[in-house]
Amino acid sequence: MQILKSDQVFKVGVKKRKKYFKSDNYNYAFDLDTGFFARWGANQEEDPGKSPYGPEIADIEITTICDGINGKLCAYCYKSNTNVGDNMSLDIFKKVIDQVNFNQQLTQVAFGLGASGKENPDLWDMCTFLRENHIVPNGTVAQLDDETAEKIANNFGGVAVSAHLGKGLIDTPYGKVDAGFEVLADTIEKLVKYSKSKSATLRQVNIHFMIAEETYDDCLELFRLVKEDPRYAGLNAVVLLGLKQCGRAKKGFNILSEKKFKHLVELSFEKDIGLGFDSCSALKFQRAAEKLNKEGSISDEKLEQLIQLIEPCESGLFSAYVNTHGKFYPCSFNEVAALEYDLLKEDASFKKLWSTGLDNWRGMLEKSGRACPTHKV
């Protein structure tokens, strides 16, 4: 076993491509190849409420540049990104990782990217740096050419392709559909193709779909296309993202009703479509599953399995967000001054912040039952 860090309290290391963290009350095992992750406390039955040794996952925004789909920006971008923005440099990225990974405990970094994956030319060197430190890079994109798709397949462990619609209707073998669905299917097909090469590290290709009242019918259409269009073969799951009414999504979009959300969950089970959801929507998913159980659509055993997989808001508990300027916030939806911490300042100590500086945020999460304390989804 290669020991990455050890003291009298804990030990973290890598053995046979699996990363382990061991302590009396907090432990995990992470497969660096498959992405399988398990966490437990003093025993297998205990579920820790936070990681006392630092975040397991870091969401790091390395660019705010985005050209959208076919040159059209998305109306519900919570960041309000455009084709004019900032890139994080490789040097700053390394400094951020050194701060956040203070106990060598990070397992994954989720890159905040633009649509094409080409916005920050340092991306691939960042991937190399992460792999050298036993951290798996992941990211979200929307419209890829073959060159970038192949690079992602040879560097990332997992990738999500965002479904962005409202691009106009076109005729296809699967009916008249939004042009955004063609971009989505083509991008999925490229990634799955390149993930099959011997050099590929990519193990999971998902779809990210932002759910709102205004996008509900489009989600139903996506479910149809996933089953009919062979370009979606190899897709792992459709991941439903709850609407956050910030950025450009402040206007024109409304939170999807619990009834419609439950129907999407039920439909995914009926059609045997892999389903995921962001932690923001975890409790909403749990309520939907419990209703389906009462209605007899899913068994008690299935419900128990689903609840075991649910992870409500983990911001500041198991995960951290850092923007392009090296500033930490608990999550990307709460970039407010009261929660800001500059990781690049001379006397910065993320270790100290993680230990004692997030009590107010964590208190709000505890009070809300780990539902988002600032955004309703």
Look at residues 62, 67, 332, 60 and name the one whose alpha carbon lies nearest to residue 183.
67
State whether 154 and 294 are in the same domain. yes
State whether 201 and 279 are in the same domain. yes
296-311 pLDDT tens trace: 999 999 999 999 888 9
Q: Say whether 42 sits in a helix, a strand or coil.
A: coil
Confidence of residue 195 (pLDDT cuts 50, 70, 90): very high
Q: Is 5 exposed, middle or buried (0-12, 13-18, 19+ CB in 10 A)?
A: middle
State whether 22 and 112 are in the same domain. no
Residue 375 domain flag: no
- Among 61-75, 99-113, 215-229, 285-299, the range scoring the smallest mean pLDDT is 61-75
- Sheet containing 27-31: give its strands across: 2-6, 10-15, 18-23, 27-31, 37-40
Residue 188 domain flag: yes
Number of domains in the chain: 2
Mean pLDDT of 54-68: 95
The Cα–Cα gap between 195 and 189 comes to 10
152-161 pLDDT tens trace: 999 999 999 9
Mean pLDDT of 333-350: 93
Residue 376 domain flag: no
CATH code where residue 166 lies: 3.20.20.70
State whether 63 and 135 are in the same domain. yes
**Is pTM beyond 0.85 here?**
yes
CA 268, chain centre distance (Å): 20
Domain ranges, residue 29? 1-48
pLDDT value of residue 346: 94
CB 331 within 8 A of CB 59: yes
State whether 170 and 297 are in the same domain. yes
Q: Which helix (H) or strand (E) holds 359?
A: helix 359-367
State whether 249 and 151 are in the same domain. yes
